[in-house]
Amino acid sequence: MNFRMIKNILGWILIFEAGFMLAPLLTAIIYSEEVFTSYLISMGICLLIGLLFIWRKPKDKTLYSREGFVIVSLSWIFLSIFGALPMFISREIPSYIDALFETVSGFTTTGASIVADVEELSHATLMWRSFTHWVGGMGVLVFVMAFVPLSGGNNMHIMKAESPGPSVSKLVPRVKTTALILYLIYIVLTLLEFLFLICGGMPIFDAINTSFATAGTGGFGVKRNSLLGYSSYIQIVTTVFMIIFSINFASYYLILLRRFKEAFTTEIRTFLGIVIAAITIITLNTVGLFDSVGEAIKHVSFSVASIISTTGFATVDFNLWPTLSRAVLVTVMFIGACAGSTGGGIKISRILIFIKSIAKELSLMLHPKQVRKVMIDKHPVEHEVVRATNVYMVCYVFTFIASVLLVSIEGFDLITTFTSVAATMNNIGPGLELVGPTGNFAFFNPFSKLVLIFDMLAGRLELFPMLLLFSHKTWKK
């Protein structure tokens, strides 16, 4: 284990986090808010520790897969621990566990909150919450790799460990260039949404925060009623961009290269098909609850896009919808977005591989001697990817069950307990019943919050990086 290299990268992460805090710091200056001091102190702490960590450059910059997993896990943990400091120091969130929960929810783009009324928070803290979504959406290490040569030519191990989905490939030969391309696409799409929101009359501060939260598919809002109070135009624009950010960013790169056939993959077609099917079913089931069919389609489309993209914005309280509609929403909670997007959940590509693996096994039972491979887009899926997908699904189920059992110790109703784990592990935000769109997670005790914090991190990092921290083999020399 290359501990010196791990420490060096963690140092760079903290230095970058100090830089990230410039956004809320400038916001505090603009609005003349006292929390300015809290963010300045937190920046100083991050910068000091970061500089101490990178003081001695490691001679050996070699990184293998286990270092990649450890770096990713510890980076996100460090980001969250230090990112919670401003809210705790300012006493806007008096409990450090609550501040940590809010920060982890931000960086993992979950959007689950312990804050009862977000409008009581300072503008600086609202900006920090939303900005953590934007940073965490594409991946902070991907961001750092775009600007800093972390480990020579071994950055792919880091990118694979942090990027969502069953497989990751380079868009161009150099990993650094790939990271830069991804972030350029990310920035352009964020700016595009911001301009559309401004054109719809949204205040600049609200538009910046909403763009950050949508881009990262996080869902932290600046109003207590999320996006309900905004115009239909703004709600429609947000719906469209939630879908856009749910699609694999590699597809946008292929579109820029005019390779349209390669860009429109089976995964994207399946994703859009699920979105349309979910909207249709729920609209038919809830049309009587709205003033018109158009109003029903608008709110249902927004809710489906919000849940399947794992953003978590709301324009209605879908907790009051019929059982079928809520069941469909819970289903798409687990399905999630496309691999290589900023969305959470199990991922469409992983579900496709898993279903095709089942079909393959059933066929082999009938015809044991046949040779059959799992195919996606007319290309065979490597056995390692199929195996990793199957193992992931098993780990996902066991982790989910364990989390539900641990949270259930508090004794809340099963729907609240089940959907609180589903909402955090799939990085969605709202669940049902007590953790529905109009509720929050403040009522859980510190132990349950720590379990849900682990779920948010494990869900964002695709389980394995977090689980490997508990394996003694990971730390052996």
Tens-place pLDDT, residues 289-330: 999 999 999 999 999 999 999 999 999 999 999 999 999 999
- Tell me the two tokens of residue 406: 């641990």
pLDDT at 106: 95
Alpha carbons 50 and 43: distance in angstroms, whole number: 10
Q: How many other CB atoms are found less than 10 A from the CB of residue 260?
A: 10
Sign of CA dihedral 40, 42, 47, 48: positive
The one-letter amino acid at 308: I
The b/e string for 207-220 (b: 16+ C-beta within 10 A; e otherwise) is: bbbbbbbbbbbbbb
Q: How many other CB atoms are found less than 10 A from the CB of residue 146?
A: 18
- Tell me the two tokens of residue 239: 């719906």
pLDDT at 168: 47
CA distances from 449 to 80, 97, 110, 424, 453 (A): 14, 8, 14, 10, 6
Q: How many other CB atoms are found less than 10 A from the CB of residue 3?
A: 12
Under-50 pLDDT residues of the chain: 153, 168, 173
pLDDT at 340: 84
Q: What residues form DSSP beta bridges with 380?
A: 375
> Are the beta carbons of 216 and 133 closer than 8 angstroms?
yes
Element (H, E) at 380: strand 379-380
Alpha carbons 211 and 240: distance in angstroms, whole number: 12
- Tell me the two tokens of residue 39: 């963010």
- Tell me the two tokens of residue 42: 């937190």
Phi, psi (deg, nearest 5) at residue 376 = -130, 125
Alpha carbons 135 and 113: distance in angstroms, whole number: 18
Q: Look up the pTM and report it.
A: 0.92
Alpha carbons 176 and 167: distance in angstroms, whole number: 18
Triad 360, 365, 366: Cα angle to 5°:
100
Phi, psi (deg, nearest 5) at residue 380 = -70, 140
Q: How many other CB atoms are found less than 10 A from the CB of residue 247?
A: 24
pLDDT at 157: 54
